Structures are given as C-alpha cells and as structure tokens.
C-alpha cells in the first residue's frame, strides 16, 4: 500500500478562519491515524491579495492548535516554471489550446447563450483552430475538456458525485499575462507532491470534475476526495464576521484554550457515539473521515464556552498559570513582581472560570495593594460586632501550626463555637476583606494562598476602612 499523503493548502489573504482550521484538523488527523504525511502548502498565486502577514497568521494559528506539518511550507509562487512546463506539455499534446477571443467577444457570446436559454459557457471558437504562430495578439490557454462522457468520483463524505462533461467549460489554465490559474496549479501541486487524499470544503465540489479531467490528461493518479460541509452561523447563513469572531487567533485572545478549540472544531460535523470530550490522542485513534456528516455544522459559541470551561477546570494549573501571565500583564499585573504564587492562585479559580479572561479578572485581587469594596456586600456583612470577630480570627490563624485549608477551617470552627455564631456571620466579612467582592474563591483557599502576613494586612485594613 502506498504512503498516505494529505495537505492543507490555505490562501494567505487573511487570518486562519475557523472553517480552514477545521479542514486542516481533519487532514492532520487522518494523516496521523494512517501514519501518513501531512503537508502544508501556501497557495499564494494571487500576488495582489497574498501577504506575508497572512502567511504568518496561518503559521501562528496552526502552531497554536498543535497542528504540526511533516513537509513544507511550500509556496506556489516558487513553482511558476513547473506550471509552465506542464502547460506547454498539454498544448504540445493537443490537450490544451490557445484562445484569442477578447473579453468583449466572450461577453457577447455569454449574453447570446443566456438569451437562447443556454449556459453561459465558452462556445469553443478557438478549440479547433490550427496551431498559430505568435503574432503579438494576447491569448489565454484553455484546457480541452472532453465533450462526451461523465466525470464522477466516490466522495468519502458525500458519496458518488457525477458531472456530464458536456456541462463543463474549456477551462482557462493560463491567463493572458502568462500566469496559471487556480484549478490548474492545484492539480500540478497535488501531482508533484504525490497527494493521495484531498479533504477540503464543499465549496470546491464544482472544481473537482474539472480537476479530475486535468489529472487524467496528465496521466497522473487521481486522489481520493472528501468534501467537508460548510460551517454556518446560528441563522444558518455561512459563518461570517457578523456572527462574531471567525479567526482562530481571536479565540485565543478571547481566552479560549487550543484544546477546547480543537475539540469543538472536530465535533462540528464529526461524531463518535455520544462522546463529547476528546484529546488530540483520542482523536487520532477514533477519527474517521467517513463519520463526518453530510450536513453543515452550526457554530454554537455556548458549546465552545462549555468545552473551554471543562478544559480550564481539569487543566494543569502550572500550564494554565503560564498561559495566564500575558492576560494579567494586559491588566497591569506582573506576578513575577510579587504577590502569591500564581499556580496556587489558579488552583483557587479554575473551578469556576469559563475563559482565561475570566481567570485573569478573577486573579487581579490577589495582586492589588488596595481593594475597593463592594458597597452592598459591606452593608450586609459588616456590623458593630465585625471588628472583634475579625481580630479574633486573625489571632487564631496566627496560632496555627500550618496555614493549610484544613487547619484554617478548624480555626473558623473554633471561633464560631467560642462566639456562638454561624459561618454566615463572619465568612462574608472575611471574603470582602480579602477580595473586595462578594463573589470570590473559597475563603479557606484564599487565606492559604495569600498567606498569613497578607491575610492579616488585608483584614486590618478592612477594619480600619469599613468599621469607622
């Protein structure tokens, strides 16, 4: 059995779109599962729209998602001599021809065909001209599409698809300026890179019969095709900016983890029983292109958020702490400059945070020298008895042999027993003293994370500020 070879071939005309990322993921997974090769190819023949910034954005998005490539990146712009060689060969073999029809003539033919109820395709005026010497007239080169027969393939997702050759145009494969066109260079690339399987969006279905005919004209094996359905917004329209962010890296900046994004994208169209949570290792084992559905996937931000919360909750606190640093720095906090251990901080917050932004916002109070206090919470939690209770609590904490959550809880129990109170009569005041908020991590975890000195300082400040 020959080596399985797949590719992801984005155009560098913008960021890595979530739809492109899913296509890349499907190709990557199948290559890994079948012990094949995953190739990254940059389709940059549209020189006016291709930018280095977009190339970098594609690399960044792929690396963030963990989709490493085995070969490449290859750039189509480096291969123009190769494309010219293949075009010349097709012309020499009579499988392509020069077309001298002007834009105005083509438009007139198009309008005539439409008026007569036909399809606006090229009528073959130059198809049977004898070979012409170059006389300075501009020309394109067209592929000589067979007029009879059917071109069909067994799509791994959509099943058998067939096109009547008579319905297809004599495709332009070289423009008047000598540059090759998309449908041609894609085939040459896939031939020279020995691609065995092509997974791509189903907006390419209409290109496939034309490309298959070019493979056959070149005497090259035709790869297996799988056309993945589009991703739609909640309104069932094609996913676009009006539905929210469509760039993969925008989701990173919004505080999503790459594993949540990968898990979510693969489930947009693919399923494995009722399972929802998949690591990359799971996916390599379980993925199959045949289990990708034929209908479009609907992008559901709430489902992505649910997955992200799961991965934060179950994530390694050390890794999360490392990922959190840039978000904290954006908020003017550098944990390296002092304050509690960031890993310990993460452990107190990861249970409830849905995004890294929430995690960063939740961590800020740990690193602030002065807190602003929730006024409504203060009105409820602080009264004439509060200073004495808080002072007694600090004394008990200072007397503990070790400041861990279990010992801290015991100190609270002793205080409540001695004073004849319940946790609700002291806990909210402690919470506000330490965090400034009524919503924070567990009180015992906060005290353990802040340490005795900082806890004492914060409680004493709260007494001074709030009990005047």
- Cα–Cα distance list, 167 to 118, 121, 203, 210 (Å): 10, 8, 18, 11
CA distance 356 to 183: 42
Give the H or E element holding residue 8. strand 5-8
Give the H or E element holding residue 248. helix 248-253
- Region for 228 from its dihedrals, namely left if φ exceeds 0, alpha if ψ lies in -120 to 50, beta otherwise: beta
CA atoms within 13 A on the CB side of 438: 10
Q: What would the two tokens of residue 345 be?
A: 């901080």
> What single-letter DSSP state applies at residue 155?
E
Classify each residue of 266-282 as buried b or exposed e, where b means 16 or more C-beta atoms within 10 Å of its C-beta. Answer: bbbbbebeeeeebebee
Q: Are 227 and 204 in contact (CB under 8 A)?
A: yes
CA distance 386 to 375: 16
| Torsion 164-168-174-180 (CA) sign | negative
Q: Which residues are catalytic?
A: 241
CA distance 106 to 112: 10
Q: What would the two tokens of residue 293 be?
A: 């559905």
- Any residues with CB less than 8 A from the CB of 395 and at least 6 apart, and which? none
Strand, helix or coil at 411? Answer: helix
């Amino acid at each position: 059995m020959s080596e399985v070879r797949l590719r992801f071939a984005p155009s560098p005309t913008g960021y890595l779109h979530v739809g492109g990322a899913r296509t890349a993921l499907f190709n990557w997974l199948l290559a890994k599962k079948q012990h094949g090769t995953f190739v990254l190819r940059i389709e940059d023949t549209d020189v006016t729209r291709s930018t280095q910034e977009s190339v970098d954005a594609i690399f960044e998005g792929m690396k963030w998602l963990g989709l490493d490539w085995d070969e490449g990146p290859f750039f189509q712009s480096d291969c123009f001599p190769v494309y010219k060689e293949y075009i010349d060969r097709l012309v020499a073999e009579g499988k392509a021809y020069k077309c001298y029809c002007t834009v105005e003539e083509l438009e007139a033919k198009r309008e005539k065909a439409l008026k007569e109820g036909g399809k606006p395709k090229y009528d073959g005026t130059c198809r049977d001209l004898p070979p012409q010497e170059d006389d300075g007239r501009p020309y394109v080169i067209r592929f000589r599409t067979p007029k009879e027969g059917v071109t069909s393939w067994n799509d791994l997702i959509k099943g058998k698809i067939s096109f009547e050759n008579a319905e297809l145009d004599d495709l332009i494969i070289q423009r008047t300026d000598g540059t090759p066109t998309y449908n041609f260079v894609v085939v040459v690339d896939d031939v020279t890179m020995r691609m065995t399987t092509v997974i791509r969006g189903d907006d390419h279905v209409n290109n496939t019969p034309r490309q298959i005919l070019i493979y056959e004209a070149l005497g090259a094996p035709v790869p297996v095709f799988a056309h993945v359905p589009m991703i739609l917004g909640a309104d069932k329209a094609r996913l676009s900016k009006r539905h929210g962010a469509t760039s993969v890296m925008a989701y990173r900046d919004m505080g999503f983890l790459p594993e949540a994004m990968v898990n979510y994208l693969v489930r947009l169209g693919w399923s494995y029983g009722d399972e929802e949570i998949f690591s990359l290792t799971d996916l390599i084992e379980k993925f199959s292109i045949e289990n990708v559905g034929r209908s479009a996937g609907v992008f559901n931000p709430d489902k992505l958020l649910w997955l992200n919360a799961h991965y934060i909750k179950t994530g390694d606190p050390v890794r999360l702490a490392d990922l959190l640093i840039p978000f904290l720095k954006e908020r003017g906090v550098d944990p390296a400059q002092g304050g509690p251990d960031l890993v310990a901080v993460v452990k107190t917050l990861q249970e409830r945070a849905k995004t890294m932004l929430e995690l960063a916002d939740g961590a800020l109070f740990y690193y602030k020298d002065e807190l602003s206090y929730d006024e409504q919470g203060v009105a409820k939690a602080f009264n004439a008895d509060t200073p004495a209770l808080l002072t007694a609590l600090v004394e008990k904490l200072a007397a503990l042999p070790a400041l861990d959550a279990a010992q801290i809880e015991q100190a609270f129990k002793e205080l409540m027993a001695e004073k004849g109170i319940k946790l609700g009569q002291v806990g909210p005041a402690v919470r506000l003293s330490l965090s400034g908020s009524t919503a924070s991590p567990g009180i015992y975890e906060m005290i353990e994370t802040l340490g005795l000195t900082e806890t004492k300082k914060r409680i004493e400040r709260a007494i001074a500020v709030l009990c005047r």
